[in-house]
């Protein structure tokens, strides 16, 4: 099966599956955030230039952006204020001076609001495709986009939670999506990506085979981390675009 076939929108059933995984990973994230102290939030995250508090704040603000995208999809009325406003580009500065309890409440409320909104994507959509600055996005892909942000940001917090702690189905879905994005990148090198769990994806001419656990492959494609993965030809693991 090709990477395109594995990641193509599959209709309402995929939306329900993504929502279930998102709920699971969001609850795990909130549990980790609840355990952070004020000093933890003020400390550096794994994300360059960001404290843990800024990562938490961006998760909350991006949830609000996604709610507006869902309203756009349902009503056909564009609700995003700025063409550049999209998931992953929410303001990460709000709330960085809040107390620990205030930041936790802010994130919980934003996640609850988004969870309710995303459920509406199983209903008829006036705008099933949203034209964002980086190109068109299927509205039914929004839960998976949020799943990616929740899982990767959870690891970015550097609070003892790693990608291997995520649900295996969430990791498999995000790996498939990451490979699909790699294949769409200009001048992408040729790879065959094989996970120890049994998934196989071909990018370009598939000339080099990269293997490893799914969580390690996801870390490689997301952050360029090469720990735990290997090439069949014995050469160093290639850089990703």
Say how far residue 100 (Cα) sits from the centre of its chain: 24
Let me know whether 209 and 126 are in one domain: no
Residue 239 lies in a domain: no
Is 169 a member of any domain? no
**Residues 18 and 120 both lie in one domain:** yes
**Owning domain of residue 200:** 181-231
Express each pLDDT in 108-167 by its tens digit: 999 999 999 999 999 999 999 999 988 899 999 999 999 999 999 999 999 999 999 999
168, part of any domain: no
60: in domain: yes
| Domain stops at, among 161, 193, 216 | 161
CA distances from 176 to 4, 115, 127, 229 (A): 9, 23, 25, 16
Separation between Cα atoms, residue 73 and residue 199, nearest integer Å: 32
pLDDT tens sequence across 63-96: 999 999 999 999 999 987 554 455 554 444 544 5
102 and 189 in a common domain: no
92 and 203 in one domain?
A: no
C-alpha span between 221 and 103 (Å, rounded): 30
Query: Does one domain contain both 58 and 156?
Result: yes
**Count of structural domains, the chain:** 2
Cα–Cα–Cα angle for 192, 176, 163, nearest 5°?
Answer: 105
88 and 203 assigned to the same domain: no
Residue 116 placed within a domain: yes
**CATH code, domain with 72:** 1.20.120.450
Give pLDDT tens digits for 15-56: 999 999 999 999 999 999 999 999 999 999 999 999 999 999
Residues 6 or more apart whose Cβ sits within 8 Å of residue 134: 86
Same domain? For 128 and 16 the reply is: yes
Q: Which pTM value belongs to this model? A: 0.88
Same-domain pairing of 157 and 185? no
Cα 151 to chain centroid, rounded: 6
| Whether residues 92 and 56 fall in one domain | yes
The last residue of one of the domains, among 161, 194, 215, is 161
Residue 116 and residue 40 in one domain: yes
Are residues 154 and 191 both part of a single domain?
no
- Same domain assignment for residues 16 and 125: yes
Residue 172 lies in a domain: no
């Amino acid at each position: 099966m090709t990477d395109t076939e594995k990641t193509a929108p599959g209709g309402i059933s995929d939306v329900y599956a993504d929502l279930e995984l998102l709920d699971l990973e969001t609850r795990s994230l909130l549990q980790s955030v609840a355990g952070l102290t004020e000093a933890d939030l003020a400390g550096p995250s794994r994300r360059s230039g960001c404290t843990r508090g800024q990562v938490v704040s961006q998760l909350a603000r991006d949830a609000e952006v996604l709610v507006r995208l869902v309203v756009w999809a349902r009503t056909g009325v564009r609700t995003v204020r700025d063409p550049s406003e999209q998931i992953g580009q929410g303001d990460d500065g709000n709330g960085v001076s809040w107390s620990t309890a205030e930041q936790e409440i802010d994130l919980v409320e934003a996640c609850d609001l988004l969870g309710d909104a995303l459920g509406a994507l199983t209903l008829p959509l006036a705008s099933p495709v949203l034209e964002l600055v980086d190109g068109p996005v299927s509205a039914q892909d929004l839960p998976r986009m949020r799943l990616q942000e929740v899982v990767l940001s959870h690891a970015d917090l550097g609070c003892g939670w790693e990608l291997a702690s995520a649900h295996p189905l969430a990791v498999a879905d995000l790996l498939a999506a990451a490979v699909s994005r790699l294949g769409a990148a200009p001048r992408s090198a040729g790879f065959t990506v094989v996970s120890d769990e049994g998934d196989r994806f071909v990018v370009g001419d598939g000339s080099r085979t990269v293997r490893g656990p799914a969580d390690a492959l996801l870390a490689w494609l997301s952050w360029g981390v090469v720990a735990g993965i290997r090439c069949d030809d014995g050469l160093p693991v290639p850089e990703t675009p």
